[in-house]
Amino acid sequence: MAIYVNTDNSNPTNKLFNASKVGKSAAAVEKGMQQAVIEFLGTQPDFTTTTSGKGYSLRMKVVAETAGRATKYSVPIEIIRYPSSAAKGGKGEEMVPIAVKLGSATLQGASEADLVDAIGELTKSDVKASLGVMRVDMARR
């Protein structure tokens, strides 16, 4: 059975893909992040984003830092068990620990399309790094 990855970003109070730090391009970047996850996982035979079941939600938030005249972007990732269940002690969500060396992209005067592409590539890199962690954790569940 394939491991389900939730990509529903419709809850405004608990977004899986949050690009609020990029200003007016936030909606386009969030859609690009969601699409990057769906496309990447579509190439993995043991993962699905369409058939709901036991699996994970990947929460990513764009971080933007000023680097001289440019802006440096990174996309930290959190893996949350799906369907959501309370962690030990009944507080918070049940997280899966992951240590990923974050990639980054530095852009200067970039168009929205360049920004969407750069963040999309960072998103794919995060998802690729999380595959092994999800496979191991799923075997233990």
Among 116, 117, 124, which residue's Cα sits nearest to residue 25?
Answer: 116
Q: Domains in the chain, ordered, with CATH?
A: 3-140 (3.40.50.10610)
Tens of pLDDT along 16-65? Answer: 999 999 999 999 999 999 999 999 999 999 999 998 889 999 999 999 99
pTM of the model: 0.91
